Amino acid sequence: MIENISFALDLFLSLENFLVIGIGVLIGTIIGAIPGMTTPMGVALVLPFTFSMPPVTGILLLLGVYKGGLYGGSLTAILIKTPGTPAASCTVLDGYPMAQKGQARKALDIALYSSCVADLISNISLIMFAGILATFALRFGPPEFFTLIVFSLTIIAGVAGPSLTKGILSACLGLMLATVGLDLVYGTDRFIFGNFELMSGLNFIPVLIGLFALPEIIDRSTRGPRLGGSQRSQLGGGATLAEFRKTLKSVVRGSFIGVILGAIPGIGGAPAAFLSYSEARRNSKNKENFGKGEPEGVAAAEAGNNGVAGATMIPLLALGVPGDVITAVILGAFMIHGLRPGPILFEDNLPMVYALFMGILLSSFYLLIIGKIAIRGFSKVALIPNRILYPIVFVLCVYGAYAVNNNIFDILVMLCMGLVGYLMLRLDIPVAPFLIAFVLGPLLEDNFRQSLLLSDGSLSIFVRNMICIAFWILTALSIFVLVRSRIEASRTGKASTLTTGG
């Protein structure tokens, strides 16, 4: 053991490694903050630079981009209501109202501190529980995934807007849109109507940008120009340690939610962020402030989102199974260097695994430093008057939507989604369930159909073990609690404390 750690230190302690982690986090933060530039895109862009690097250095660079990207998504989510990642759409719920109230700096600080703590907890969990969690995740087959996604969508539908029913309708719309393209099993057309651009389905980036950024710009048309000055005269002060300490319980809880969901391949940060947010609200003394600019809401969302970062490495390192698109790219980097993650990696290259752990731990501290610098730069965006900011945001959105596939059609998708988003805004329908359902839709349908293939069409497969049953019970409980809360709200005339924006 000590010998392995000594070898690992030899591998890790070099100026090159210390530099690349910082550079990676910086690149990731910038990419995450630009709408249309995604973290997977950032990791993929950096990948070619790692070919000539030693394996540990190259992989640490990619991990830095990954962690920076997860945090960077929250910057624009808070400042201009344009989440850089689907998971950051949960940060919008309280982050943007805080920025509107002149507390942009505080929201950004809370997001950063929560991200760093969650990242650290996730990294420590990766080191301590990689084996145990990987074994648990290995027990997940298609029916377990299906029930888990159903549970996640219920939570998202329930907590993201003023009513569960509207949340479900929004999620259904997202699921329906996700079916556009070729059928997964038979390869036949679904809602293509002769347009070949739709054959591969709709990309989630133009959908994300359209749903979140454009409605805000269109809605601004309903208001006349202000009489001079900027709309937010101040950014407000940063968060104090005491303020952050108040949110610590939610941060720790959210981090563990992120760790558990992150260890399950394919789930990603968005359900973790929403589940963490929902739990924070359920346990908070300030339930009624959630959705109106509650720092604890920002903290919980970011903790859930970043708690996933280290944990997604668990199935990758322990089983060789990538947890999401980004870890799939990182798996590619391992393979380029002639390494195959999985149990054999732990037997043959343990010092290298330890060296990666050391680098991953260091990345949390880099995130804090680079995040602080990024906040200073990016927070000034909040001071730009809307009459100048919105045209800039729109042009940025156009470039971002095009850049995803080098396709002008994606700009049309973004504009159409903007109209849908605006209509949803006017009707008080939350857009987050739409987006998350759109992202998880193919996974949900795929697991549903795989389950039925396994069981020859018998639905009993969805209650085949305790994991499935537990998720069904949790789903039923969530619906029961949300419905009861709505009925109570009707009796008292006060908005439900379990939902946002009510």
Partner 1 sequence: MTNKKTKDLITAILFIVLGLTAIFALIPSGVIVPGSVQISALSPDFWPYTIAWGVVISSCFLLLETFTLKVPEGDEDASEDAEYKLATLQATLRIVILIFALFLFYFALTTVGIVAGSIVLMPAMMLYFGERQWKYIIPLSILIPIGLYQFFLHVAGIPMPLGIFETLL
Size of the site for partner 1 (CB under 8 A): 81
Token reading at 360: 């991953």
> Site for partner 1 (CB under 8 A): which residue of 350, 361, 452, 481?
452
> Site for partner 1 (CB under 8 A): which residue of 394, 443, 472, 481?
394
Q: Report the residue number, 28 or 322, with the smaller CB distance to partner 1.
A: 28
Q: Which residues contact 247 (CB under 8 A, 6 or more apart)?
A: 110, 114, 295, 296, 299, 300
> Site for partner 1 (CB under 8 A): which residue of 128, 132, 369, 392?
392
Q: Report the residue number, 66 or 146, with the smaller CB distance to partner 1.
A: 146
Angstrom distances, CA of residue 369 to CA of 310, 315, 374: 19, 29, 9
186 near partner 1 (CB under 8 A): yes
Stretch that binds partner 1, among 5-13, 252-260, 369-377, 390-398 (CB under 8 A): 390-398
189 near partner 1 (CB under 8 A): yes
**How many Å apart are CA 124 and CA 196, to the nearest integer?**
47
Stretch that binds partner 1, among 13-21, 57-65, 174-182, 362-370 (CB under 8 A): 174-182
Whole-number minimum distance, CB 478 to partner 1, in Å?
A: 16
CA dihedral 274, 280, 282, 285 (to 10 degrees): -150
Which own/partner contact pairs does 388-392 have at CB distance under 8 Å and 24+ positions apart?
A: 389/80, 390/216, 390/217, 390/220
Q: Which residues contact 252 (CB under 8 A, 6 or more apart)?
A: 117, 121, 303
Token reading at 337: 């260097």
Q: Which residues contact 41 (CB under 8 A, 6 or more apart)?
A: 31, 404
Stretch that binds partner 1, among 113-121, 258-266, 274-282, 443-451 (CB under 8 A): 443-451
Residues 397 to 426: which contact partner 1 by CB under 8 A?
A: 398-399, 402-403, 406, 408, 411-412, 415, 418-419, 422, 426
Q: Which helix (H) or strand (E) holds 181?
A: strand 181-182
185 near partner 1 (CB under 8 A): yes
Q: Report the residue number, 5 or 172, with the smaller CB distance to partner 1.
A: 172
395 near partner 1 (CB under 8 A): yes
What does 66-123 look like in DSSP terms, one character per residue? HHHHHHHHHHHHHHHS--SSGGGHHHHHHHHHHHHTT-HHHHHHHHHHHHHHHHHHHH
193 near partner 1 (CB under 8 A): yes
Residues 204 to 233: which contact partner 1 by CB under 8 A?
A: 217-218, 220-226, 231-232
Q: Report the residue number, 369 or 453, with the smaller CB distance to partner 1.
A: 453
464 near partner 1 (CB under 8 A): no
